[in-house]
Amino acid sequence: MTELVLLVVGAVLVNNFVLHRFLGICPFLGVSRDIPTALGMSAAVVFVVTCAAAVTWPLQYFVLERFGAGYLQTIAFILVIATFVQLVELVLKKAAPALHRGLGIYLPLITTNCAVLGVTVLSIKKGLNFVESIFFALGAALGFGLALLIFTGMRERIARAYPPRAFQGTAIALVTAGLLSLAFMGFAGLVKL
C-alpha cells in the first residue's frame, strides 16, 4: 500500500510528466488559456490514461511477449489506445450524453497526446505489475492535470499584465513553463524509487 502511494506521489510531484519528462507539452500550451477548458482536458486525460494503462498492460504481457513481438510495442499501443478512445467516445455519447458534452472535444485530442503513450511505455519499462501500472498511470495523469491547472492560472494573470511586446503570447508562456518546471525540481528527492 505504501508503495502504491509513493508511486502516485512520485508521478504527480517528483517525476511530473509535463515538467520533468516534457511529455504532453502540446495540450499543456494549447488548452491552458482558461480554467474551465483546462479542467475538462485534465479530467479527460485522467480517465483515458488510467484506462489505457489497464488495456496496454495485458496486451504487452499476454499478446506481444507471447509471440516475441515486444519490438512492435509502439505501433500496437498506438493502435489500441486510438481504438479505445474512439470506443469510449461512442459509448459515452449513447450512455452518458452529459459527460460526453463535457469531455467531448478533448477525447479525440488525447488520442495523439504523447503523454498517454509515454505513461504506458514507461510502466512496462519499469517492470510494474498490473495494479502498480494503473496507479502509476493515475498519478501521471493527476500530475499532468496539476501542472496544467497551475500553468493556466498563471497564464490567465499574464494575459492581463501586458508583458513587453516581443514576449507576448507563446514566448512568455514558454518562459513561465520553464520557471514552473524549475519550481517542481524542488520536489526532487521527496520520493526515492
Partner 1 sequence: MDPVIQHTILIGMAGLVCGALLALVSHYFAVHEDPTVEALTAALPGINCGGCGYAGCAAYAKAVATENIGLDLCKPGGAETVAKMAAITGRTASAREREVAVVLCNGSRERARQAALYNGVADCAAADLVAGGGKSCRFGCLGFGSCARVCPTGAIEIADSLAVVHPELCIGCGKCTGACPRKLIKLVPESRSIHVLCINRDRGPDVKKVCDVGCIGCTLCSKACNNEGIKMDGFLAVVDYTVPLNSPEIATKCPTKAIAVRPGVKKEAAA
Distance CA 153, CA 157 (A): 7
Residue with cell 459509448: 91
| Residues of this chain that bind partner 1 (CB under 8 A) | 63, 67-69, 72, 75-76, 79-80, 83, 86-87, 90-91, 93-95, 159-162
Grid cell, residue 13, equals 510531484
Q: Which three cell numbers stand for residue 56?
A: 496496454
Min CB(103)–partner 1 separation in Å = 16
State the Cα–Cα distance between residues 174 and 182, nearest whole angstrom. 12
**How far is Cα 112 from Cα 45, in angstroms, rounded to an integer?**
11
Nearer to partner 1, 2 or 162 (CB): 162
* Longest Cα separation, the chain: 58
Least separation in angstroms between residue 166's CB and partner 1 is: 17
Closer by beta carbon to partner 1, 105 or else 179? 105
CB of 104 to partner 1, least distance (A): 11
Cβ proximity to partner 1, 67 vs 125, nearer residue: 67
Shortest gap between Cβ of 177 and partner 1 (angstroms)? 22
User: Smaller CB distance to partner 1: residue 90 or 183?
Assistant: 90
8 A C-beta contact, residue 10 and residue 96:
no
Measured from the CB atom, the residue of 99 and 193 that comes closer to partner 1 is 99
Task: Please state, in angstroms and rounded to a whole number, the distance separating the CA atoms of residues 123 and 49.
Answer: 12
**In the complex, what is the shortest distance from the CB of residue 31 to partner 1, in angstroms, rounded to a whole number?**
16
